[in-house]
Amino acid sequence: MKLKIAVLAGDGIGPEIMEQGVAVLSAVAEKFGHEVTYKEALCGAHAIDEVGDPFPEETYQICKEADAVLFASVGDPKFDNNPSAKVRPEQGLLAMRKKLGLFANIRPVETFDCLVHKSPLKDELVRGADFVCIRELTGGMYFGKKQEPTVNAEGVEDALDTNYYSRPEVERILRVGYQYARQRRKHLTVVDKANVLASSRLWRKVAQEMMGEYPDVVTDFMYVDNAAMRMIQDPKFFDVMVTENTFGDILTDEGSCITGSMGLLPSASTGSSTPVFEPIHGSWPQGKGLNIANPLAQILSVAMLFEYFDLKEEGKLIREAVNASLDQNVRTPEIQVEGGAKYGTKEVGAWIVEYVRNKKM
């Protein structure tokens, strides 16, 4: 297969983990006889510094013309505490999602037996947890009508974010949820706040109408506050969870901590145009240039990329290599066992590349 990959390394540790992700992608492609070409593009704070736009038109065109986007991270401390900043790195991420029509964010949450001790949850709660969070990505408060802080006619400063959803937006993300549930354990949990929010009542109404189309899937409903509690009390309850943009943002970060490290989990964003594959963690500017960032989430995002194109053996090999690296304690500092050898971002990536190259098929 021929694949054109847009490479958006972004900010902070992004370039370091991206280097390892691309190296693994190239090694797997070579092993299986695929032809892969790469085109790098600016995004985030780096793009603001270079051209004043966190998602420039040139970057959009490169993404649009690619078969897939491999993305790392955006974010820079100089923008974090400046509420008056007109342009922010994260606006580039939102623009990419909107322009590429990426309405479905798929985040698997899967524990690794050798790292269960790193989880903040008890072993008996977290061991065997394996579920998928599906977050609607282009609607809700993140994209609804806004009013920045301003002084109103009564002399009181106020602001506004509108949590807008339409029936077609809700239907299409629910169908993604049902498709994943059918491929897994046939259990879909719709998360909303229908006892308070009108937008959530639309979600629940649409989901209740669609349930009959998927009689093989058990559908249940859960308020978002209860879902957050249940993820900590009983994460093994969930199979596939589907929810709106804001709730999904919060719950997926909560889910990522179950595994013991945010550096372990990949994600995919899909929709009407080029899919994007990225780790769920941020840019971690404090770790920039120190060769300590965990590249495994970026590398597992490459596995999801291959699997998206139905290249299952390629994805399987990457997952096998990642598991082997963990089992043999080839790990970056935040997940290394006490007294274990020191490995950095580059060393972990190189080890996995060698595993791929030397694996007899």
pLDDT recorded at residue 106: 97
Question: Could you report the per-residue pLDDT of 211-248, keeping only the tens digit for each?
Answer: 999 999 999 999 999 999 999 999 999 999 999 999 99
Backbone angles phi, psi at 264, to 5 degrees: -110, -10
Report the percent of the chain where pLDDT is more than 70: 99
Class of 1-100+274-361 in CATH = alpha beta
- For domain 109-148+157-260, give the CATH number: 3.40.718.10
Q: What is the pLDDT of residues 284-309, one digit of tens each?
A: 999 999 999 999 999 999 999 999 99
* Domain residue ranges in the chain: 1-100+274-361, 109-148+157-260
Q: Which residues pair with 70 in a beta bridge?
A: 7, 277
The whole-model pTM stands at 0.91
Same topology, domains 1-100+274-361 and 109-148+157-260? Answer is yes
Tens of pLDDT along 35-45? 999 999 999 99
Average pLDDT for the chain: 94
User: One-letter amino acid identity for 11?
Assistant: D
- Angle at the Cα of 303 (from 291 to 40), degrees rounded to 5? 60
Task: For residue 318, give both structure tokens.
Answer: 């990457």
- Give the least confident one: 24-38, 83-97, 148-162, 168-182: 83-97
pLDDT of residue 261: 76
pLDDT in tens, 325-344: 999 999 999 899 889 999 99
50 vs 115, higher pLDDT: 50
> 83: pLDDT confidence band, cut at 50, 70 and 90?
low
What is the Cα 361 distance to its own chain's centre? 30
Tell me, what's the pLDDT at 107? Answer: 95
pLDDT digits (tens, 9 = 90+) for 244-264: 999 999 999 888 888 877 788
Share of the chain above pLDDT 90, in %: 84
Report yes or no: 255 and 135 within 8 Å, Cβ to Cβ: no
Return the closest-CA partner of residue 356 out of 3, 14, 9, 20. 20
Q: In what order do the strands lie in the sheet with 240-243?
A: 35-40, 2-10, 68-73, 276-279, 266-270, 104-110, 130-136, 240-243, 187-192, 218-223
DSSP class of residue 55? S
- How far CA 187 is from CA of 182, 217, 309, in Å, comes to 8, 6, 25
pLDDT band at 84 (very low <50, low <70, confident <90, very high): low
- Residue numbers annotated as active site: 142, 193, 225, 249, 253
Strand extents, DSSP E, 204-315: 218-223, 240-243, 266-270, 276-279
Exposed e or buried b per residue across 265-282, where buried means at least 16 C-beta atoms within 10 angstroms of its C-beta: bbbbbbbeebbbbbbbbb
d(CA 349, CA 346): 5
**CA neighbor of 264 nearest in space, from 298, 235, 302, 291:** 298
Nearest-5° Cα angle at 296, 294 to 297: 100
Burial of 135 (0-12, 13-18, 19+ CB in 10 A): buried
β-strands 218-223, 187-192 pairing: parallel
